[in-house]
């Protein structure tokens, strides 16, 4: 972490002065009118290089036509005057160009940072910054890569509904208070390598559209929320498979450490699905993986083993009934049901009372094969059912 002595003051940063053109927020209640004036000024400054594709995207996300319109010549002159007044004639500062890298690196933000619903068209660098107060980035759009590596968030950080169209790098960042990534959209890679979360961490309803976030080396808080997250499809290439395997493996390990069993099981299942793509076609390992998934959703589904049991039972009853001498007899149907029930539940002592040895010897060769198959498959299904019940309801 950057030491206090190497931090640059926020008031000495051109981009910060531009982002707070009409004044800074207080550390308590946010001034909505001030926030709107600052946002519109920033967005219209960026609009000078805004193309039609990005304009359409922003309109779809609720940005107004006004804030997507570049300054005309008269407005630009006033904007430059306002900026000159904001920097108080600090000789080292000048108005940045919209195409420049937005450089907040090593800045110490002493007050609340409010850049909600701003949009950034180029690269943004928040690396090694220090946020003393609330960092409010709700609904902010980043079209190019953004770095928060080694950033220190001492207070609440709110990224609710932010959009990252390119790589989002949070490597070695430190969130000391609540970190809210609710409904955030990550279109590309999201890196959280060695990131530390000390408090409530919310990823609920987040969208990871192309890659699983990388949390290797990260330390998550026990109050980490993952419900309704949308995870990416598996990319059909070895690099995509391995990226997902490593990412899900790490998340599974971290959830195991935090005793969050439901989340651990979820990441375990996703890891196994990713590993499936790395297994050779027609290999035993691939067949076992597919079977484990189909029969029990990797030891988590209760419904799947029960459905397979019912299907196996119905198939056996049909075979025994079709093989009977009188297919129209209810007695023969009842006997077929009894035989199927007996073979499926052969691992229980009661099965011997349902189908006697004499009745078994009277069956046809095919019917005997069905009985044996039902017995083996039934035992496997009961095992998977027990495993699923244990995984769903046990406390770790």
pLDDT digits (tens, 9 = 90+) for 258-279: 999 999 999 999 999 999 989 9
Predicted local confidence at residue 371, as pLDDT:
82
- Tokens 């009853």 locate to 317
Checking if the pLDDT of 3 tops 90, the result is no
CB 285 within 8 A of CB 293: no
Which of 293, 271, 289, 272 is CA-nearest to residue 281? Answer: 289
Predicted local confidence at residue 1, as pLDDT:
45
pLDDT digits (tens, 9 = 90+) for 46-72: 999 999 999 999 999 999 999 999 999
Instruction: Using pLDDT thresholds of 50, 70 and 90, give the confidence band for residue 8.
Output: confident
CA distance 51 to 194: 36
CB 111 within 8 A of CB 27: yes
CB atoms within 10 A of CB 266: 20
Checking if the pLDDT of 174 tops 90, the result is yes
Instruction: Between 357 and 255, name the one with better pLDDT.
Output: 255
CA dihedral 40, 41, 47, 49 (to 10 degrees): -150
Predicted local confidence at residue 4, as pLDDT:
47
Predicted local confidence at residue 356, as pLDDT:
57
Token pair, residue 54, equals 């990005």
The rounded percent of the chain whose pLDDT value lies above 70 is 91
Instruction: Between 386 and 365, name the one with better pLDDT.
Output: 386
Predicted local confidence at residue 5, as pLDDT:
47
Predicted local confidence at residue 204, as pLDDT:
97
Domain ranges of the chain: 303-393
CB 152 within 8 A of CB 174: yes
pLDDT digits (tens, 9 = 90+) for 77-93: 999 999 999 988 687 88
What SS3 string covers the chain? CCCHHHCEEHHHCHHHHHHCCCCCCCCCCCCHHHHHHHHHHHHHHHHHHCCHHHHHHHHHCCCCCHHHCCCCHHHHHHHHHHHHHHHCCCCCCCCCCCCCCEECCCEEECCCEECCCCEECCCEECCCCEECCCEECCCCEECCCEECCCCEECCCEECCCCEECCCEECCCCEECCCEECCCCEECCCEECCCCEECCCEECCCCEECCCCCECCCCECCCCEECCCCECCCCCCCHHHHHHHHHHHHHHHHHHHHCCCHHHHHHHHHHHHHHHHCCCCCCCHHHHHHHHHHHHHCCCCCCHHHHHHHHHHHHHHHHHHHHCCCCCCCHHHHHHHHHHHHHHHCCCCCCHHHHCCHHHHHCCCHHHHHHHHHHHHHHHHHHHHHHHHHHHHHCCC
pLDDT digits (tens, 9 = 90+) for 177-195: 999 999 999 999 999 999 9
CA distance 193 to 188: 15
Checking if the pLDDT of 325 tops 80, the result is no
Name which of 99-113, 305-319, 382-396 the model is least confident about.
382-396
Please give the average per-residue pLDDT across 16-35, as a whole number: 90
CB 224 within 8 A of CB 206: no
Checking if the pLDDT of 218 tops 50, the result is yes
Instruction: Between 134 and 353, name the one with better pLDDT.
Output: 134
**Cβ-Cβ contacts under 8 Å for 257 (sequence gap 6 or more):** none
Predicted local confidence at residue 319, as pLDDT:
84
pLDDT digits (tens, 9 = 90+) for 331-380: 578 888 888 888 888 777 655 555 555 556 666 778 778 888 988 999 99
């Amino acid at each position: 972490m950057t030491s206090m002595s190497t931090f640059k003051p926020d008031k000495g940063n051109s981009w910060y002065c531009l982002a707070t053109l009409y004044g800074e927020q207080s550390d308590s209640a946010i001034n909505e009118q001030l926030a709107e004036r600052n946002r519109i000024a920033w967005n219209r400054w960026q609009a000078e290089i805004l193309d039609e594709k990005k304009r359409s995207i922003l309109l779809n996300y609720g940005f107004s036509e006004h804030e997507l319109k570049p300054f005309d010549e008269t407005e630009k002159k006033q904007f430059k005057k306002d900026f000159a007044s904001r920097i108080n004639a600090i000789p080292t500062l000048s108005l940045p160009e919209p195409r420049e890298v937005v450089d907040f690196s090593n800045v110490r933000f002493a007050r609340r940072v409010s850049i909600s619903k701003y949009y950034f068209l180029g690269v943004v660098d928040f690396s090694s910054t220090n946020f003393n107060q609330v960092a409010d980035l709700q609904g902010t759009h980043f079209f190019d890569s953004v770095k928060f590596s080694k950033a220190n968030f001492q207070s609440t950080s709110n990224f609710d509904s932010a959009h990252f169209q390119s790589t989002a790098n949070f490597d070695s960042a430190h969130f000391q208070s609540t970190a809210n990534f609710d409904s955030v959209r990550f279109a590309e890679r999201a890196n959280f390598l060695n990131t530390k979360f000390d408090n409530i961490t919310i990823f609920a309803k987040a969208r990871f559209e192309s890659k699983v976030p990388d949390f290797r080396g990260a330390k998550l808080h026990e109050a980490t929320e993952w419900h309704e997250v949308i995870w990416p499809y598996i990319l059909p290439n070895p690099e995509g498979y391995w990226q997902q395997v490593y990412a899900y493996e790490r998340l599974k390990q971290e959830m195991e450490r935090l005793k969050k069993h439901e989340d651990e099981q979820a990441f375990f299942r996703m890891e196994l699905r990713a590993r499936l793509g790395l297994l050779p076609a027609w290999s035993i390992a691939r067949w076992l993986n597919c079977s484990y998934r189909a029969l029990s959703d990797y030891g988590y589904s209760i419904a799947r083993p029960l459905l397979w049991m019912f299907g196996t039972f119905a198939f056996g009853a049909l075979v025994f009934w079709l093989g009977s001498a009188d297919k129209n007899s209810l007695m023969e149907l009842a006997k077929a049901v009894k035989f199927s029930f007996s073979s499926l539940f052969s691992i229980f002592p009661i099965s011997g009372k349902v189908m006697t040895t004499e009745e078994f010897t009277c069956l046809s060769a095919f019917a005997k094969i069905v009985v044996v198959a039902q017995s083996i498959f039934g035992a496997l299904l009961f095992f998977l059912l027990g495993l699923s019940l244990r995984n769903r309801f046990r406390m770790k």
